[in-house]
Structure 1
Amino acid sequence: MQLDHVTIRTGDIDATRAFFETVFDLTIGERPSAIRRIPGFWLYAEGRPIVHIIGSYGNGSDRAAEAIDHVGFRLEGYAAFRARLDRLAIPYSTMDLAEIGERRLFLRAPGGPLLEAVFCEPIPVENDHDIQ
């Protein structure tokens, strides 16, 4: 297992993008079409998208806090990991991103932090869709 990416939720996606580009020499790269409905950017280092930036919504007291939204871990063995979550009765949602050849599982740790398990595996044709 290795850290795949971190997603940062922010009220100023342009300033946050510029900060990471300037400070860490990251560059804007492609995002899968299935997630382009979410305002934000994927920032790349050495050809990999390691910082994902997404917008917070609302204003005043309703505004979502600036935060690390979730952490992604790159794993192997999608079917076995999914079976393990089922066996442990841990709820999850799925996302298959055919255009980049990745399958993803989203789950919450105790206390609520969102975790994403990312797998580079072929996607069966019948499962080529967004989060269920």
Structure 2
Amino acid sequence: MQLDHVTIRTADIDGTRAFFETVFHLTVGERPAEIRHIPGCWLYAKGKPIVHIIGSRGMGFERAAEAIDHVGFRLEGYAAFRTRLDRLAIPYSTMDLADIGERRLFLRAPGGPLLEAVFSEPVPTLPPENDHDLH
């Protein structure tokens, strides 16, 4: 397992983007088509999107404070990990990003922090049979 990315929720998307570009020399890159409706951007280092910036207002979010929204971990074995979560009765939600060949699971740690498990695996053409919603 390795750290995949951090997502920062902010009311100032442009200012936050400029800060990371200037201070850390990150560059804006492509985002998957499935999430382009969410205000924000992905910032890349060495060809990898490591900082995701999303708006704290709109899309059902009305948080005034800046915050780290979630942390993503890159893992292997999507099906086995889902089976483990099911066995442990841990609620999760899914997101498939076909255009970049990734499958993602979102779950909460005790106390509420949101975690994202990222898997580099082809997205099946049929929808998963056992989809769950994270509450």
Q: Determine if the TM-score, normalized by the shorter chain, exceeds 0.5.
A: yes
| AA aligned opposite 1:81 | F
- Provide the C-alpha distance between the structure 1 equivalents of 2:54 and 2:38, rounded to a whole number of angstroms: 7
How far the C-alpha of 1:97 sits from its partner, in A, is 0.3
Matches within 5 A, 1:106-121: 106-121=106-121
Superposition misfits of 4+ residues, deviation over 2 angstroms = none
Q: Which runs of 5+ in 2 are unaligned?
A: none
Q: How many residues of Structure 1 are paired with residues of Structure 2 in the alignment? A: 127
Q: Is 2:19 the partner of 1:19? A: yes
| Structure-2 residue corresponding to 1:56 | 56
SS at match of 2:50: strand
State the 1:57 CA deviation: 1.1
TM-score for both structures, normalised by structure 1:
0.92
RMSD: 1.6
Superposed CA offset, 1:14-40 (max 9, x none): 000000000000000000011111100
Q: How does 1:1-132 map to 2 (within 5 A)?
A: 1-57=1-57, 63-127=63-127
TM-score (normalizing by structure 2): 0.90
Contact persistence 1:96–1:127 (CA under 8 A): no
Of all paired residues, the percent bearing the same amino acid is: 83
> Where is the helix percentage greater, Structure 1 or Structure 2?
1
Secondary structure of the residue that 2:57 maps to in structure 1?
coil
